[in-house]
């Protein structure tokens, strides 16, 4: 099972241009209590799944302090029959040798939030004093590299990113030596709901197509079997008739939980800004009860509602109406049209390999959704 834990809620030491939580309280740091952390760990161990992935998220999760995570791994060790897999998404500002040594010792998977080269990153991600952050992050990435602590990366793209998409991919690949990262998008609705201070940063559908174009062009040109851009892998899976892995393609929304500092449980960190989104609270009941409760069940039912357009779309089994948090007022995935174009484009690319008898050892290349088993 996967659970996202926000030990300090949405509190952050940066003030990113596109912050999803800018409208929420950024003046008071509240941290999950030790007692609640212990209860959460016990609850997760009692769900009945031998592997539990905990994604420590925020806000900025390092603000919870090293002692918090020391207690977390200590509590996890009380349940040796459960395999806890810890991952943490950080802006890397507070990383130092001590943090790096801790993460290395306890096998944390670290994700860094970096929006590309200095020029675009420093436009996006400033600290509370409006100072740029790129140099500090690069210095701390250096600490991780010195310690051989492997890390991944999430790049968030806005309309301002478009001129820098390709050079940012080159930067991740060439300069940072990464072979795996993912790309997120800030769209119009993200802005109207959460950012509003600068709606011009929102990606339109045309912008989004352009970002995908740049990504795909880089992907093709990099010519490296080890390169994984997770978003593109999902489209390749669909082109092969395979079940995508990522939640906003796979249709498994409601399978995850997101626990806030006060014990509130939400379906996802994309749906955790309003108390109405909560499906329960760990201070009142346990995780299994919450996830099997009426609110969670209703959420799962609603998340699985397809739009009428989905019913005649050949990509529906691979898209499942996209991310639940990104549907319009008619219940349709906001980027449906873009996604269909990308499905078609990647499918053409993949089919090209099969039809020309490439070196690929996959037996199913060229198998289109229409050829696949009945769903």
Site for another protein in 314-353 (CB under 8 A): 317-318, 323, 338, 341-342, 344-345, 348-350, 352-353
> Which lies closer to another protein via its Cβ, residue 22 or residue 246?
246
The answer to whether 88 and 110 are in contact (CB under 8 A) is: yes
The only residue of 67, 98, 148, 361 in contact with another protein, by rule CB under 8 A: 361
The only residue of 33, 117, 210, 286 in contact with another protein, by rule CB under 8 A: 210
Q: Which of 117, 126, 340, 375 is nearest to 249 (CA)?
A: 340
Q: Quick check: bond before 220 cis, omega within 30?
A: no
Q: What is the dihedral of CA 64, 186, 119, 198, to 10 degrees?
A: -100
For residue 296, the SS3 value is: helix
Contact region with another protein (CB under 8 A), list: 28-36, 53-61, 97-105, 138-146: 53-61
> Which lies closer to another protein via its Cβ, residue 148 or residue 359?
359
**DSSP label of 199:** G
For residue 48, the SS3 value is: coil
Write the interaction track for another protein spanning residues 55-84; mark x where CB under 8 A is met and - where it is not: x-x---------------------------
Q: How far is the CB of 40 from another protein (least distance, A)?
A: 14
Q: Which residues contact 129 (CB under 8 A, 6 or more apart)?
A: none
Residues between 273 and 292 that touch another protein (CB under 8 A): 288, 291-292
The sheet carrying 257-259 orders its strands as: 228-229, 180-185, 151-157, 109-113, 83-90, 51-56, 2-5, 257-259, 264-266, 280-281
The single residue listed with the structure tokens 């790309």 is 183
Contact region with another protein (CB under 8 A), list: 96-104, 141-149, 205-213, 328-336: 205-213
255 sits near another protein (criterion: CB under 8 A): yes
Q: How far is the CB of 200 from another protein (least distance, A)?
A: 18
- For residue 297, CA distances in Å to 43, 49, 186, 279, 292 come to 19, 19, 29, 9, 6
Phi, psi of 147 (to 5 degrees): -90, 0
226 sits near another protein (criterion: CB under 8 A): yes
> Which lies closer to another protein via its Cβ, residue 33 or residue 209?
209
> Which lies closer to another protein via its Cβ, residue 33 or residue 138?
138
212 sits near another protein (criterion: CB under 8 A): yes
For residue 281, the SS3 value is: strand
> Which lies closer to another protein via its Cβ, residue 276 or residue 361?
361
Q: How far is the CB of 8 from another protein (least distance, A)?
A: 15
**DSSP label of 305:** P
Q: How far apart are CA 41 and CA 187, in angstroms?
A: 35
The answer to whether 103 and 88 are in contact (CB under 8 A) is: yes
> Which lies closer to another protein via its Cβ, residue 212 or residue 261?
212
> Which lies closer to another protein via its Cβ, residue 33 or residue 118?
118
Contact region with another protein (CB under 8 A), list: 67-75, 126-134, 163-171, 252-260: 252-260
> Which lies closer to another protein via its Cβ, residue 33 or residue 306?
306
- Binding-site size, another protein (CB under 8 A): 95
The only residue of 30, 78, 150, 297 in contact with another protein, by rule CB under 8 A: 297
305 sits near another protein (criterion: CB under 8 A): no
24 sits near another protein (criterion: CB under 8 A): no
């Amino acid at each position: 099972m996967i659970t996202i834990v926000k030990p300090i809620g949405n509190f952050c030491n940066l003030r990113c241009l596109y912050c999803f939580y800018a409208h929420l309280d950024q003046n008071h740091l509240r941290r999950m209590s030790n007692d609640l952390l212990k209860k959460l760990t016990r609850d997760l161990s009692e769900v009945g799944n031998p592997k539990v992935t905990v994604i420590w998220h925020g806000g900025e999760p390092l603000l919870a302090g090293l002692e918090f995570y020391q207690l977390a791994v200590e509590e996890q060790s009380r349940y040796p029959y459960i395999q806890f897999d810890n991952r943490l998404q950080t802006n890397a500002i507070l990383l130092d040798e001590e943090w790096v040594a801790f993460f290395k010792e306890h096998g944390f998977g670290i994700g860094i939030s970096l929006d590309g080269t200095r020029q675009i990153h420093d436009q996006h991600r400033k600290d509370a004093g409006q100072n740029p952050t790129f140099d500090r992050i690069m210095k701390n990435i250096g600490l991780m590299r010195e310690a051989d602590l492997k890390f991944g990366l999430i790049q968030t793209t806005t309309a301002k990113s478009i001129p820098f998409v390709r050079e940012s991919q080159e930067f991740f690949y060439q300069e940072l030596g990464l072979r795996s990262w993912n790309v997120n998008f800030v769209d119009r609705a993200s802005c109207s709901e959460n950012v509003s201070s600068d709606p011009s940063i929102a990606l339109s559908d045309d912008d989004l197509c352009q970002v995908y174009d740049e990504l795909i062009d880089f992907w093709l040109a990099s010519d490296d079997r080890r390169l994984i851009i997770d978003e593109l892998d999902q489209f390749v899976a669909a082109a092969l008739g395979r079940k995508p892995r990522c939640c906003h393609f796979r249709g498994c929304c409601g399978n995850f939980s997101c626990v806030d500092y006060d014990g509130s449980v939400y379906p996802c960190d994309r749906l955790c800004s309003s108390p109405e989104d909560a499906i329960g609270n760990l201070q009142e009941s346990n995780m299994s009860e919450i996830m099997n409760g009426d609110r969670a069940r209703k959420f799962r039912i609603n998340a699985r509602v397809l739009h009428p357009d989905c019913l005649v779309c050949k990509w529906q089994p691979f898209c499942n109406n996209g991310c639940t948090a990104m549907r319009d007022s008619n219940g349709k995935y906001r980027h449906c049209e873009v996604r269909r174009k990308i499905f078609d484009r990647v499918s053409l690319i993949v089919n090209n390999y099969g039809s020309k008898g490439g070196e690929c050892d996959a037996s199913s290349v060229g198998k289109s959704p229409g050829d696949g088993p009945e769903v």
